[in-house]
A and B are shown apart, each in its own frame.
Chain A
Amino acid sequence: MAFFLEALLGGLMAGMLYSLVALGFVLIYKASGVFNFAQGAMVLFAALAMARFSEWVPGWLGLESKFLGNLIAFMLAAVLMYALAWLIERLVLRHLVNQEGVTLLMATLGITYFLDGFGQTIFGSDIYKIDVGMPKEPVFLLEGVFQGGVLVNMEDVYAACVAALLVAVLSLFFQKTSTGRALRAVADDHQAAQSIGIPLNKIWVIVWFVAGITALVAGVIWGSKLGVQFSLTTVALRALPVIILGGLTSVPGAIIGGLIIGVGEKLSEVYLGPLVGGGIEIWFAYVLALVFLLFRPQGLFGEKIIDRV
């Protein structure tokens, strides 16, 4: 039983991280109707920025405190993500108002490759560390209930708390503010949004910035767990089945989808893996996504698309 719980928790934690990346996709899709292929590249870019700034900043400012160094590095990385959002709007999106979704998708594909290359050009292409001082030591819980207790990684618990906080803030922003309403409006119809005085350009900068911050948080958490390296971009591919499962337009969907995929991967690997010789973890998520596409294409929480003929 303790073993099952450990596998379950491990899956939930991995799932939480998938959710964070998926959230970035959902935000941009919800708010601009664009499927942002570049989300994975943004995670890598943000993580690289964070890793390198936290290396450089103490040297530039002669800081002793690691916390302060990290804080400033995080803020600098956030500013960089804002600059990125602004540039993307100015150079790419502004020229594509009222275009088909597929045109915008191709544009984000271009942004992906640009960011991959550009990030490594300015920040280097080695493997870097992010150390934000999350406790590494594992803790044993429920020792009274099971023999040996359940092994929990405190780092994961912190990560989960941060992710939960981020989600709460984002939901409030989307559901309760006029800016959130404007974002949803822009997603549905550019022209109508303009006609009621919603400034498309400003809205796009906001959306991409929010997605950038999500990427930064995901990047910091992933980075401090696994190190910052190019393979972070593939994490984004893991987030695709999450979105299919949860629904492209749903913030809670991204979270729950991520958790389901995380848990499903771990449990299937642990319990079904031995029967087929292992390796289930790699493709499990995609198969699950395929099944969902067959039976519930809008995902668990997505908006059902109704087209009048």
Chain B
Amino acid sequence: MSQKQIGDVILDVNNISLRFGGVNALTDISFNVKEHEIRAIIGPNGAGKSSMLNCINGVYTPQEGSITFRGQTFSHMNSRQVAEMGVARTFQNLALFKGMSVIDNIMTGRNLKIKSNIFLQALRIGPAEKEETRHREYVEHIIDFLEIQAFRKTPVGQLPYGLQKRVDLGRALAMEPQVLLLDEPMAGMNVEEKQDMCRFVLDVNDEFGSTIVLIEHDMGVVMDISDRVVVLDYGKKIGDGTPEEVRSNEDVISAYLGTSH
């Protein structure tokens, strides 16, 4: 296994609090993510993991706190800005374009990068032709990487669940993200599919150099692949550190296993 170079802090979450009416979804959460690392967010159901991801992704606007991405600090931003800055995500409940083919789904991830004039694109002439080909090549590279060559023309809605998850990942990869947010990439998968997905996540991290923030339920998986782990429970941070540190943290153990009161 290659020794990877973990860089400086790329994403810094400062004192985020998020409320829905009277419910405190997140309370005063701070953590950071370093370049090239795999950072996991874990916690029991309803701990606020997805809310945290949605805050980073610009879907939710936290009432308090800020997020610093590559030196720029934001207190609120929208999904498009986040996408433009190089943050891509996958979804816990698949959110694919079901009627479109695998290729078209992944090509949509390139949309922000396509610059040529719409009339040239429609006629496929001049620079637009070259640009389309270039993006198409990149997408083919991703398809090879995810081992879904056989399904490139299949409408995504017809694929089995595990493959749809891969397409979701492929679409995010097509954006050439600096930070990749994965919302339960292994949820609902069998052991074999989980192993495949683990391999893809590690390879993405390795080959594409993306920093990965990952939410996962499966403790085994998390401990195996992540560099550092944040643990949330009831919207509060109860642990933060390497898998070994987290594993021996009293609060984490009681949150996961329950305590005798």
Which residues on A are within 8 Å of B, measured CB to CB? 169, 172-173, 176-179, 181-182, 184-185, 187-189, 191-199, 249, 303, 306, 308
Contact = CB atoms under 8 A, between A and B. Distances in A.
Given A181-B108, A194-B80, A195-B83, 15 more contacts: A172-B123, A178-B110, A178-B111, A178-B121, A181-B111, A185-B97, A188-B98, A189-B95, A192-B171, A195-B57, A195-B95, A197-B84, A198-B111, A199-B80, A306-B158
B83 to A, nearest CB: 3
A177 B128 CA distance: 9
B113 to A, nearest CB: 9
Contact of A173 (B89, B112, B122): B122
A192 B96 contact: yes
Given A189-B97, A192-B91, A303-B99, A176 B122 contact: yes
Interface of B: 57, 59, 79-80, 83-84, 88-89, 91, 95-100, 104, 107-112, 114, 118, 121-124, 155, 157-158, 161, 171-172, 175
B104 A179 contact: no
A169 B110 CA distance: 23
Nearest to A178: B114
B212 to A, nearest CB: 16
15 contacts: A178-B110, A181-B104, A181-B111, A182-B111, A187-B97, A188-B100, A194-B59, A195-B59, A195-B88, A195-B89, A195-B91, A195-B95, A198-B108, A198-B111, A303-B155
Contacts of A173: 118, 122
Nearest to A307: B157
A184 B100 contact: yes
Nearest to B175: A196
Nearest to B86: A197
Contacts of B111: 178, 181-182, 185, 196-198
B109 A196 contact: yes
Contacts of A187: 97, 99
Contacts of B107: 181
A195 B177 CA distance: 12
A195 B79 contact: yes
B55 to A, nearest CB: 14
Contacts of A185: 97, 100, 108, 111
A197 B79 contact: yes
